[in-house]
A and B are shown apart, each in its own frame.
Chain A
Amino acid sequence: MRFQRRAAAIGLIAAGALLFSACGSDNNSGGGSAPQAAGVTCGGKQALKASGSTAQANAITGFVNTFEQTCNGQTVNYTASGSGAGVNDFTGGQTDFAGSDSALTAAQTPAAQQRCASTPLNLPMVFGPIAVAYNVAGVTDLALDGPTLAKVFNGTVKTWNDPAIVALNPGKNLPAAPIVVNFRSDNSGTTQNFQNYLNAASNNAYGKPAAQTFNGGVGAGAKGSQGVTDATKSTPNSIAYIEASFAQKAQLPTASIINAGGGQPVPLSTDNLGKAIDAVKVTGQGNDLTLDLTSIYKTTTPGAYPISLATYEIVCTKYADPQTGTAVKAFLQTALSPQAQGTLTQGGYVPIPDAFKQRLSTSVNAIS
């Protein structure tokens, strides 16, 4: 999954421009866009190795930039090889931590425990909103709820003027045209999270297994977030789930979602997703912060946007090599700093709200 590769490129160019324009001034920040973070205890291993989720790759890039600015001479080499490979590399001892779209399963935990010789921690460090983007002529303020979305994406609701959609959008001019569902054809954490949402928010009326492949049984697939975005842009009367940043860049309208609490439709925004994250339930024990994502999908908090992707860093509580532990702690402290969090929005992610950040800080500071 790609978050805003193009934006990253533009960012690089902008950074380069900054660098050139900064010639002559007393500016020692090499990357330009990544200021130093405060409150980080640097030190330990110089180059950490990590691999895993592609969904958080761009977030990690932002974190690493800040980390390099903050801790002189230290870096993290993150290989975006997919969540499964990331967990395998981590439990095999080839990497220092893993990025994963889901927490360790009961089957994976013993291997991770053995690799760490301590308790492995699942830390949800990166959240990304998933937008429901659509292309319907003349409609820019569509409102949908979980049960209706489930019916659209499993083919039960077939046309835009279906009573279920009309009931949520009184007075809007919805066409009698068939709904074209665009989905991701490649394996994707976005697809998995969105289907999890559909199942949770519709009380299983969606009725399809939530895998990394789309199982709704309708529509046409396209490769990658950009492919789905292009397809939605070019196909009239189509609808798709994509990472919010792609919808914004393509200027596709995104649906407001009525969450499980009922009430007003909630437009997609950083603040509105933050409200859902703040109210999230944690199922992990102690410093482990494994999330019950259902509590986001089925959030009843007024004004909370319920569709989100959460990706984890999987680390050890105590590393066999203290140098590694110190460096991992420094990196994650950097990631939680306001400077690193500030790099998230341009990658299409959501900065972690303060209340939840406190919990993450506590867990991170316990790493050694």
Chain B
Amino acid sequence: MGSVSEPQSPKASPASTGGAGERAFRWLTSGAGLVVVAAVVLIGVFLIVQAVPSLIANHANFFTSAQFNTGDANNLMFGIRDLLVVTLLSSLMALAIAMPVGLGIALFLTQYTPSRLARPFAFVIGVLAAVPSIVYGLWGILVLAPVIEPFAQFLQTYLGWFFLFSPGNISPVLTGTIFTAGIILAIMILPIITATTQEVFRQTPRFQIEAAQALGATRWEVIRMAVLPYGRSGFIAASMLGLGRALGETIAILLVIRASTSPSHGSLFDGGYTFASLIASAASEFSQPLPTGAYIAAGLVLFVLTFVVNAIARVVAGGKVNG
């Protein structure tokens, strides 16, 4: 634009390089960035606008009540306590299973497998990600749940003194529980964690690995000294992506976890709803604004929860990826 001089060498400061193409590209990328922000803001505004009237009309404590009664629009009584408990328990259990397994798979694929085997392996994991969640749900309740029931029974009998394994609020039913759902969710988020972590591990600088080897490190020591420190934040970021998926999973959870009429016991053998599955279960009946707003208020909490989880992940990862 203003510059009349000849194009300068690439070493010139970015501010001085003009050119319409440069500016257009900058606007395009900023625009793309803004779209994400705008989408998040718009969803947030939508949730708040829809939820506030119902929250005002709510006769129960929104944060501590375990009931979700929206049958009478003039007497809404809803709270998110149990939704939060079931959502967190199932997602954290999934994470507890999927994180070590995903880490193991990623290390196996990047450090132990020759690349001609790693490729088909990665493909199989990709297929796992492509299975529709309703299939996971049906498989979970019809096939997996009866198979793991004896194991759940074993845990409840011998570790029942620990609150996570105490008899749940749908006892004696041990099939459609948070326990079953946690395992399904773990399988569902495994490909997300594995794929991302594997990519990060693959980026470990060659010279770091070779330096470790030159010092006489065994393969495990190479992993511990070079690969893991390099990929730690990437692995955590991948796990948080998986957690986000688990928190928001809807139809598989709806099919697997049995509903309960009594409040949560905080046990893995409880039934109930997560935020997402509750909304899905009632979505066909959204005809009146106030009861609908109650469910949207629950959705708002899930939205905020996901925000918090991401923020925590940033802090844990040290604010940078590949540190």
Among A215-223, A289-297, A313-321, the stretch that binds chain B is A215-223
In contact, A220 and B285 (Cβ under 8 angstroms): no
In contact, A217 and B271 (Cβ under 8 angstroms): no
B259 part of interface (Cβ distance < 8 Å): yes
A161 CA / B173 CA spacing, docked (Å): 19
A183 CA / B176 CA spacing, docked (Å): 13
Give, as a whole number of angstroms, the nearest-CB distance from A57 to chain B: 12
B146 part of interface (Cβ distance < 8 Å): yes
A215 CA / B259 CA spacing, docked (Å): 12
Contact pattern, A 84-101, Cβ under 8 Å of B = 1, otherwise 0: 110010000000000000
A119 part of interface (Cβ distance < 8 Å): no
* Set of chain A residues within 8 Å of B261, measured between Cβ atoms: 183, 214-219, 221
Nearest neighbor of A84 in chain B, beta-carbon distance: B287
* Set of chain A residues within 8 Å of B285, measured between Cβ atoms: 82, 84, 187
A278 part of interface (Cβ distance < 8 Å): no
In contact, B284 and A219 (Cβ under 8 angstroms): no
Contact pattern, B 267-296, Cβ under 8 Å of A = 1, otherwise 0: 000010000000001101101100000000
In contact, A219 and B281 (Cβ under 8 angstroms): no
* Set of chain A residues within 8 Å of B288, measured between Cβ atoms: 84
A213 part of interface (Cβ distance < 8 Å): yes
A231 part of interface (Cβ distance < 8 Å): yes
In contact, A222 and B287 (Cβ under 8 angstroms): no
A91 CA / B255 CA spacing, docked (Å): 35
A215 CA / B258 CA spacing, docked (Å): 15
* Set of chain A residues within 8 Å of B282, measured between Cβ atoms: 186-187
In contact, B259 and A234 (Cβ under 8 angstroms): no
Contact pattern, B 146-176, Cβ under 8 Å of A = 1, otherwise 0: 1000000000000000000000001011011
Give, as a whole number of angstroms, the nearest-CB distance from B166 to chain A: 16
- How many contacts between A and B, using CB within 8 angstroms? 67
Interface size class on chain B is: 20 to 34
A261 CA / B146 CA spacing, docked (Å): 42
In contact, B287 and A217 (Cβ under 8 angstroms): no
A235 CA / B258 CA spacing, docked (Å): 12
B: residues with CB less than 8 A from A are 69, 71, 141-142, 146, 170, 172-173, 175-176, 254-255, 258-262, 271, 281-282, 284-285, 287-288
- New contact pairs (14) apart from A183-B261, A218-B262, A220-B170, CB-CB < 8 Å: A84-B288, A88-B287, A180-B173, A185-B258, A218-B261, A219-B261, A220-B260, A221-B260, A221-B271, A223-B255, A223-B259, A223-B281, A227-B255, A231-B176
Sorted from nearest, which 6 A-B pairs have the closest CB atoms?
Answer: A221-B259, A185-B259, A220-B170, A220-B258, A85-B287, A220-B173
| 22 A–B contacts, CB within 8 A, in A order | A81-B284, A82-B284, A180-B172, A180-B173, A183-B259, A185-B258, A211-B71, A212-B71, A214-B261, A217-B261, A217-B262, A220-B176, A220-B258, A220-B271, A221-B261, A221-B271, A222-B176, A222-B259, A223-B254, A223-B255, A223-B259, A234-B146
